[in-house]
Each structure stands twice: as C-alpha cells, then as structure tokens.
C-alpha cells in the first residue's frame, strides 16, 4: 500500500492529452513539492518533473506537472508511442522524522 | 556527468545480511546539499524508497524498514554502502542508488534474489 495514490493504469491514442493523478495528504503533497518519474520498460526510472512543475533539460514540453492542495497531476499532451511507460509521483513526507514516499505507479498505454 | 553504479551479490540466502555498494562519480559527498539514496523495486511492482545519506552524515530511513537498514558513506572512495539484515524472499527485487532523490541520476540497478 503506497502512501501516495495513483490510478494503476491510463491510456490514450496518439496525439491525445492524458493526465495522471497523484493523491496524498497534508504531511506530503500538501506541504512539500512533488516529483514525477518515467520508467520505460526494462530501464531505470528517470526524473520527468521536479518541484511540482519544473522540467529538467531534455524533457519535452509535452510533459507538465501541477499541484493543488494534497493532489498533483502529470499531463502529457500530443501523446506519442514512446510515452508508453510507468509513471511515478513522489514527495517528501514530514511525518515519522521524514521520509521519501512514492505512488504506486501508473502504467500508461498508447493505443 | 553524474554516474552511479550498484554492486553486490545477486543471490542471498534468507536470514542473511545484504550489503550493496554504490560507486559514483561526477559529484562529491562533501558538497553541501548532496546526498545518495537507495530505492528498490520488486519484480513487476512499484518503487520503494529505502534510505538516504547526506553530505553532513544525516541519515534518513524508510520507517517500515528502519530496523533492518544501515547506510554509510566512504567519501574518499566515492562510495555509499547499504546493509539490510534478515533478508526474506519478499526483499527480492532491483535495487537502485540515486543522487539524492533521483533528480540528477540513477544507477542501472542490480537485481537481488533472496532464495535458498
């Protein structure tokens, strides 16, 4: 049972816009920034979005992040087949002396 | 360029202690704000954060695993070591080391299987 809650799956057709939600609480998303990671099949995850909405160099602007209250979202516009991957949200949690928490991951399928 | 690489046993017997080493380059663990962490992923399952050590030797652990984990740094060798005691088959998975929380780099991961 992950501390952050994500839908287990999402899907879309090429060119569509897809959003993935991440729900937490006041001790994590509600008071801390959110990162998003992309994990392509058989590879290590990589940072996709940091600090709620910052894209590292090299990440296409089709990817965007937002946060409101105790929830965050990742949006992917102009969906491409290469976007098929697992996506994880993560944040610092202030409880229990502080620790990093992940969502359960969302498998994105490009139909 | 930041690189990290995990090393350690691929097979561990139940009840044994696992020792993993992360060897990194491209940054120093003496620099303020820098940290090295460990994250694992059971086959087909989600990521789980394990531990992090900062440049000032501040250590943070996953509360649910804290009693079994120890993280240490060897600054001169650019290495961070994670030990996990009393290994169980449910601990089978790929173990990654990361620069802080993976913002600037992840290792390729090392698959650890716990089985007799």
Residues 6+ apart with CB under 8 A from B61: A99, B50, B51, B69, B71
Give the pLDDT score at B103.
Answer: 87
DSSP string, A52-83: TTBPPTT--TTEEEEEETTEEEEEE-S--GGG
Phi and psi at A66, nearest 5°, equal -150, 160
The pair phi, psi for residue B76, each rounded to 5°, is: -65, -25
Residue A94 pLDDT: 94
Residues of A in contact with B46 (CB under 8 A): 2, 88, 102-105
Q: What is the mean pLDDT of chain A?
A: 97
pLDDT top residue among B101 and A64? A64
* Contact check, Cβ <8 Å, A105/B52: no
Choose among B62, B101, B108: nearest Cβ to A44: B108
Residue A73 has pLDDT above 90, yes or no: yes
pLDDT digits (tens, 9 = 90+) for A31-60: 999 999 999 999 999 999 999 999 999 999
What pLDDT is recorded for position A96? 87
Pairing of strands A106-110, A9-12: parallel
C-beta atoms of A90 and B49 within 8 A: yes
How far out from the chain centre does Cα A93 lie? 16
| Average pLDDT value over all residues in chain B | 97
- Rounded to an integer, what is the distance from CA A54 to the centroid of its chain? 12
- Spatial contact of B49 and B36, defined as CB atoms under 8 Å apart: no
Tens digits of residue pLDDT in B5-39: 999 999 999 999 999 999 999 999 999 999 999 99
Residue range B36-89, pLDDT digits in tens: 999 999 999 999 999 999 999 999 999 999 999 999 999 999 999 999 999 999
* DSSP helix, strand, coil percent of chain A (3-state; round to 5): 5, 50, 50
């Amino acid at each position: 049972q992950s501390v952050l809650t994500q839908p287990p799956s999402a899907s879309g057709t090429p060119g569509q816009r897809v959003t993935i939600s991440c729900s937490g609480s006041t001790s994590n998303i509600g008071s801390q920034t959110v990162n998003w990671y992309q994990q392509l099949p058989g590879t290590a995850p990589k940072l996709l979005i940091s600090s709620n909405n910052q894209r590292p160099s090299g990440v296409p602007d089709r990817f965007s992040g937002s946060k409101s209250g105790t929830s965050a979202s990742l949006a992917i516009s102009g969906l491409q087949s290469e976007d098929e991957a697992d996506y994880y949200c993560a944040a610092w949690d202030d409880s229990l002396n502080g620790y990093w928490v992940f969502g359960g991951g969302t498998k994105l399928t490009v139909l | 360029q930041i690189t990290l690489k995990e090393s350690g046993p691929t097979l561990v017997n139940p009840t044994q202690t696992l020792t993993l080493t992360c060897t990194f380059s491209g940054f120093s663990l003496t620099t303020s704000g820098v940290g090295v962490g460990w994250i694992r992923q059971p086959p087909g399952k989600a990521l789980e954060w394990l531990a992090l050590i900062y440049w000032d030797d501040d250590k943070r652990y996953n509360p649910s695993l804290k009693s079994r984990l120890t993280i240490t740094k060897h600054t001169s060798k650019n290495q961070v070591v994670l030990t996990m005691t009393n290994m169980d088959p449910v601990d089978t998975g790929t173990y990654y080391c990361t620069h802080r929380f993976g913002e600037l780099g992840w290792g390729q991961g090392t698959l650890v299987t716990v089985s007799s």
